[in-house]
Amino acid sequence: MFFNSSKRSNFSSLTFIFLSFLTSLIATLGSLFFSEIMNFIPCSLCWYQRIFMYPLVLLFLINLLYPDDKIFKYSFPLVIFGLLISVYHNLLIYKVIPENLSPCVQGVPCSVDYLNWFGFITIPLLSFFAYTIIFILLILFKRKSVDAK
Amino acid sequence: MQNKKLVLGSLIGFIILFIGLAIFYKDSEAKKDEKTVLGKSDLLQREHSIKFGENKKNISVVEFVDPECESCALFHPILRKLYKEYHEDILLVVKYIPNHKNSEFAIKILEASREQNKYEEVLDIIFEKQALWAQHNNEKPELLWEFLSIIPDLDINKLKEDFKNPKIDKLIDMDKKDSQQLDVRGTPTIFVNGKRLVSLSQKDLFDLVESEIYK
Specify burial of residue A33 (Cβ count, 10 A radius: 0-12, 13-18, 19+).
middle
pLDDT-based confidence at residue B8 (cuts at 50, 70, 90):
very high
Length of chain B: 215
pLDDT digit string, tens, across residues B95-118? 988 888 888 888 888 888 888 888
Rounded to whole angstroms, how far apart are CA atoms B193 and B44? Answer: 9
Q: What is the pLDDT of residue A131?
A: 97
Output DSSP code: residue A100: G
Nearest to A3 among B3, B10, B21 (CB): B3
Q: What is the pLDDT of residue A128?
A: 95
Low-confidence ranges of chain A (pLDDT < 70): 1-11, 99-115, 118-119, 149
Asked if B11 lies within 8 A of A3 by C-beta distance, the reply is: no
Q: Please report how the helices B119-128 and B70-86 are oriented relative to each other, as an axis angle in degrees rounded to 10.
A: 140
Asked if A2 lies within 8 A of B2 by C-beta distance, the reply is: yes
Asked if B14 lies within 8 A of A33 by C-beta distance, the reply is: no
pTM to 2 decimal places: 0.67
Closest-CA residue to A125 (of A44, A25, A27)? A27
Substitution target from B7, B29, B137, B185 for chain A, most A beta carbons within 10 A:
B7
Is A32 part of the contact surface with chain B (CB cutoff 8 Å)? yes
CA distance A96 to chain B (A): 32
Q: Tell me the backbone φ, ψ of residue B75, rounded to 5 degrees.
A: -85, -15
CA distance B88 to chain A (A): 36
Q: Give me the interface pTM, i.e. the ipTM.
A: 0.76
- Give me the amino acid identity at B60: S
